[in-house]
A and B are shown apart, each in its own frame.
Chain A
Amino acid sequence: MSSKVTEPTRVCELEQIDRESGVTALVHGRAVAIFRTHDDRVYALSNYDPFGKASVLARGIVGTRTVDGDEVPFVASPLHKQAFDLRTGRCLDHPDVRVSAYEVIISEGAVLVGGVKEQR
């Protein structure tokens, strides 16, 4: 599947996102959850929790989980705690479930969200 090319959209300042937490932004009409990890990396996923069927992921707890020796940054859905890989949107508890992950650009302290990432 190829990503839809979308103009990167500036959504907020990096400083508006607490480390290890998320905010919700409207990007081309879609609710996108944007997360900042402890090392100042920024990731964006669809805000829609496919299990709980509600737009809430940005409000989950951000942390790390070890998967096959790899430390995966994830968010736990605030509804029923399913964990989603921040990098890919893959659900760590149910690997066939995945939410869209978006490209993110940081520029001069601003956060920009681009198109959906290629699935690998």
Chain B
Amino acid sequence: MKTRKTIVVAGHGMVGHRFVQAAIERGLTETHDIVVIGEEPRPAYDRVALTSFFEVGAQELSFLPGGAYEDPRVRLVLDTQVLGIDRASHSVELSSGERIGYDELVLATGASPFVPPMPGHDLDGTFVYRTIEDLEAIRDRAATARVGAVIGGGLLGLEAANALHQLGVQTHVVELAPRLMAVQIDEAGGRTLTRHVEGLGLTVHTGVMSECVQGEDRVTGLKFKDHDEVLPLDMVVFSAGIRPRDTLAREAGLDLAERGGVLVDEQCRSSDPHVWAIGECAAPGGKMYGLVAPGYDMAEIVVDALLGGPGVFAGADMSTKLKLLGVDVASFGDAHATTPDSLELVYSDAVAGVYKKLVISECGTKLLGGVLVGDASAYGLLRPMVASGLPLPENPEELILPQSSGAGFSLPAEAQICSCNNVSKGEIEQAVADGAESQAAVTQCTGAGSTCGSCKTQVKKIVEDYFAAQGKTIDKSLCEHFAMTRAELFDVVLVHGYTRFDQIIEAHGRGRGCDICKPAIASILASQLNGHVLARENRTLQDTNDAYLANLQRNGTYSVVPRIPGGEITPDKLIVIGEVARDFDLYTKITGGQRIDLFGARMEDLPAIWTRLVDAGFESGHAYGKSLRTVKSCVGSTWCRYGVQDSVGMAIELELRYRGLRSPHKLKGGVSGCARECAEARGKDFGIIATEKGWNLYVCGNGGANPAHAQLLAGDLDGETLIRYLDRFLMYYIRTADRLQRTSTWLDSVEGGLDRVREIVVEDALGLGSELEAAMAAHIDTYVDEWKATLEDPEKLGRFVSFVNAPDTPDPHITFREERAMPVPAEPTGPVSLGASIPVGAPVTGQVEGAR
């Protein structure tokens, strides 16, 4: 007897994927097998973030990086089309020839870009903007194209146009309507927007109709109706709206909506009770929705219905915010003031390019919608106000006047903050109460902000307000001794030219410092002056490991890590490391950082060990410092048959350049010889990946507890530019980061994020470039090997003794046992005594001190 039923899902896009996820989470797979058929060659990915494909690549966008669902009852069939539905036999036919029976069929086939049927629309050089393959094709063509046009000046068209522009193509935007984003914004807003878009270097043509694309077999130009001139072009991208993909339903005889889309009821059921439709191919009540959030709702509703639940689709919020263009545009609620007798409140500043409009109910108490151009910072507050029907404050104009942060207006707990993932203010606050203390942590546990990202600032504000309400202002003081952040302290030290902790705490702090501010200031002084960390005036500030230029281990011994730049080492040097380890009886291990760690060294042996290493040409590896650790390399073009650049050479150059650089947290780099990325460069604070044309520079990645992929800062750089950008990037981070803040968390805290960092590092928007480069040059010029300098200075060496009054007596607390033929720490036994067997000086009498 067959008791398990089968659900077939046609289409593995954003909504199809959400359906499967919800089905697994809510237990539908306990009773049903699911077969998902997707036509694209890869599993579902984040189409909303499609444009970032150019920066982050396909893997980063994927919803299923592993390529399969963990639940074995879900079968994923990719690169395969559903060709037809046989409703009589309850089965679908696939392009592979397979036929699959279903008990329930869910259509999630999405939509396709509408290409106006004008002559020449299918010439070589015409594109649409919907899938990763589309973008790959656009990128390939852009490599040789000079001029291009995007037909359609809506939300998607502008996104595509900006992408073309970023790819180095001189770009025209052609729009039939009299203004850009005609669906979302009004005429005045459209004018302001046009000015911004032109300011970016794009050419805008509104109110013109494209007649045909010209060319023999390749695109050569675009002809407008009623114009004689032809716009010469090498490529055309169509972005003139979308059409629901409802062919399967039509051919199966299901009811369609008047304007296309599978007609479904409020439970998303089609005219056949066993066929459902969700996402952009569906038209609940006859209306299709071109956004992802309503599609997600539909997916949840069908899962609910299949479980016998009562959920219904109740329409959707069509608010939108333009992503990526570098221009703030948002539209929400009734943006066109179509509600009878509604009032409009407009703020416009032509000089600053800001246009803001609020649509208010006749009685003046409710916000119905609005348009924001040039400054959309209020979007996060206003959109939920519309959605939750919150009464307006007394002076609603306050909401759109410049500098208004919306402070003082508080949203109710049920207000929806993230529309993509349907997360309310209350849920965000609950997450904070449960321990998520930052916007990033909230995003991780609620999903808010993880899709289009437009709600991130609002999420951040809710987190901060929550703390403030608890009386826990997020105190940014370094510690009780300094009421400043590390970045502020860095500037204070720089401006005054301080060289000693005493000067700084006397002038700007109180008390005598502690284990937090002392190492922080030691690091700041080292970044600025690059003096020896054991120099007398500052050595008592150093953290545990820096204090002895080695890493303290659990039993009080130290580990020794010589630098092996790029992981490249000669046989002779390898032999020296082996000999030192053997002679000093050290546990030896290959680290995760392409070098070798020698463990179990007694403090008093460190100088002798390092004498041997320095003589053999080794330097400190700074494994103990908050400083550059390693620049990992892959073998690269010298040996590897895929390599396109000398990654080892570059890694060594960078490791030597930045060795000894003290920073707020440790710094790691990586260089890969090609896109296969064997050096895992994108898991590093700075990662470099070779391209045919040069080097791509990625920044702000790390492994560790919260792994983050590094993001593209600039592409195809020559070696010199790469190093210039890296110098600036590292120095800017060192100046502005908090203590123990790695680059990825620092990036999260930079207002404006990666774009801002790019402006500063690549475009030199603050004019800081040469100052940062000079600071790095000063570091490089003053670099000396810390261990070599220590060995040459008896005063510094004097500290490496087990006991001040018995310098050569080994500390009896340190004991070893053997494991796999090497020494490892023995279990601690508690305080031990050597007995009175060692003479330690004669008794003297005097007064008692320090015994208050």
Residues of A within 8 A of B (CB): 7-12, 16-21, 23-31, 34, 37-38, 41-43, 46, 48, 52-56, 59-66, 71, 73-74, 76, 78-79, 81, 83, 86-87, 103-108, 110, 112, 114, 117
Contact = CB atoms under 8 A, between A and B. Distances in A.
B247 interface: no
A30 B833 contact: yes
Nearest to A63: B514
Contact of B844 (A8, A37, A55, A71): A8
A38 B805 CA distance: 22
Given A78-B544, A79-B554, A41 B849 contact: yes
Contacts of B552: 56, 59, 78-79
A74 B548 CA distance: 20
Contacts of A26: 803, 805-806, 809, 834, 838, 840
Contacts of A29: 833-838
Given A11-B804, A25-B803, A66 B555 contact: no
B376 to A, nearest CB: 44
A9 to B, nearest CB: 6
**Max chain B C-beta neighbours (<10 A), residue from A28, A31, A83:** A31
A16 B804 contact: yes
Contacts of A20: 512-513, 540
CB-CB nearest 8 A-B residue pairs: A107-B846, A53-B828, A63-B514, A76-B515, A78-B544, A55-B813, A54-B556, A10-B841
B518 interface: yes
Given A11-B841, A26-B840, A107-B846, A60 B804 contact: no
A38 B542 CA distance: 16
B845 A18 contact: no
A120 to B, nearest CB: 10
User: Which interface class (under 10, 10 to 19, 20 to 34, 35 or more) fits B?
Assistant: 35 or more
Interface in B808-850: 809, 811-814, 828, 830-831, 833-838, 840-850
A114 B850 CA distance: 12
B55 to A, nearest CB: 40
A59 B515 CA distance: 12
Given A54-B555, A61-B518, 15 more contacts: A8-B845, A9-B843, A10-B843, A18-B540, A24-B802, A26-B840, A29-B834, A29-B838, A38-B512, A53-B828, A71-B511, A78-B544, A87-B852, A105-B846, A108-B844
A59 B603 CA distance: 11
Contacts of A25: 803-806, 840
B190 interface: no
A29 B812 CA distance: 10
A31 B803 contact: yes
A78 B844 CA distance: 32
A98 B556 CA distance: 20
A54 B547 CA distance: 17
A17 B757 CA distance: 45
Interface string B540-551: 111110011000
Given A30-B831, A31-B803, A65-B514, A107 B845 contact: yes
Contacts of A112: 843-846
Interface string B546-571: 01100010111000000000000000
Contacts of B544: 59-60, 78-79
B460 interface: no
B850 A42 contact: yes
B420 to A, nearest CB: 41
A61 B849 contact: no
**Max chain B C-beta neighbours (<10 A), residue from A30, A54, A65, A106:** A54
Contacts of A23: 804
Contacts of B481: 63-64
Contacts of A74: 514
Contacts of B840: 9, 11, 25-28
A103 B512 contact: no
Contacts of A64: 481, 511-514
B643 interface: no
B496 interface: no
Given A12-B804, A41-B850, A61 B543 contact: yes
Given A9-B843, A21-B540, A48-B831, A81 B515 contact: yes
21 contacts: A11-B804, A12-B804, A18-B540, A26-B805, A26-B809, A30-B834, A42-B849, A55-B556, A55-B813, A59-B547, A61-B514, A63-B512, A63-B514, A64-B512, A65-B514, A78-B543, A87-B851, A105-B847, A107-B844, A108-B846, A112-B845
B539 interface: yes
Interface in B755-804: 802-804
A54 B554 contact: yes
A7 B843 CA distance: 7
Contacts of A65: 480, 511, 514
A57 to B, nearest CB: 10
Contacts of B841: 9-11
B670 interface: no
A28 B831 CA distance: 13
B511 A66 contact: yes
Contact of B813 (A11, A54, A83): A54
A74 B852 CA distance: 14
**Max chain B C-beta neighbours (<10 A), residue from A25, A38, A63, A110:** A63
Contacts of B828: 53-54
B26 to A, nearest CB: 44
A8 B468 CA distance: 55
B589 interface: no
**Max chain A C-beta neighbours (<10 A), residue from B554, B556, B802, B814:** B556
Contact of B519 (A16, A61, A110): A61
Nearest to A18: B540
B4 interface: no
Contacts of A48: 813, 830-831
A66 B512 CA distance: 10
Given A27-B840, A66-B511, A108-B846, A59 B852 contact: no
A19 B518 CA distance: 14
Contacts of B811: 24, 31, 55
Contacts of B804: 11-12, 16-17, 23-25, 34
B541 to A, nearest CB: 7
Nearest to B556: A54
B227 interface: no
Contacts of A28: 833, 836, 840
B848 A104 contact: yes
B555 A103 contact: no
Nearest to A44: B850
Contacts of B540: 18-21, 61-62
B2 interface: no
A105 B806 CA distance: 20
B76 to A, nearest CB: 47
A53 B815 CA distance: 12
Contacts of A63: 481, 511-515, 517-518
B536 interface: yes
Contacts of A108: 844, 846
A37 B847 contact: no
A56 B558 CA distance: 12
A111 B709 CA distance: 54
**Max chain B C-beta neighbours (<10 A), residue from A12, A55, A64, A103:** A55
A76 B541 CA distance: 12
A103 B851 CA distance: 7
Given A11-B841, A87-B851, A112-B846, A66 B556 contact: no
A27 B413 CA distance: 64
A50 B554 CA distance: 12
